[in-house]
Amino acid sequence: MKSYADVVYRDFDASPALNDIIQKKVEKLHRFSDAIMHSRVVLESPHKHKHKGKLFRASIEIGLKGVPLTVTQDNSSVHLAVKEAFAVAERKVKESTDKRRDVRH
């Protein structure tokens, strides 16, 4: 199965470099689990706070067989938000895969 993520940008312009990073990270997630059916990444700049500065939100939706997985991370840098969100998603995918293996055996 081809590992491709739908990437959606809200409130700022799309970046080809960021798309490449996201596709590589999605491919890495597919190495940990073959139960991933689809994935969607939403990048947005939700609020314009005067005191907090500009924040970016990276939301990752992963459709695993039987269990949907959603991860959201906020950061002042869109690249760091993506990096942190994929780190959490990787950990959760590994946990889900381990649980599925334990149930089978």
Mean pLDDT of the chain, nearest integer: 87
Residues in the chain: 105
The predicted pLDDT at position 53 comes to 72
Q: Kindly report the pTM of this predicted structure.
A: 0.85
Domain membership of residue 53 as a residue range:
5-104
- The token pair at 30 is 């597919």
- Look at residues 89, 34, 98, 101 and name the one whose alpha carbon lies nearest to residue 62: 89
Give CA–CA dist 97/5, Å, rounded. 20
Q: How many domains does the chain have?
A: 1
Least confident piece of the model among 36-45, 57-66, 78-87, 92-101: 92-101
Percentage of the chain lying above the pLDDT 70 cut: 86
> What CATH code is carried by the domain that includes residue 93?
3.30.160.100
pLDDT tens column, 26-68: 999 998 888 888 999 999 987 666 666 788 999 999 998 878 8
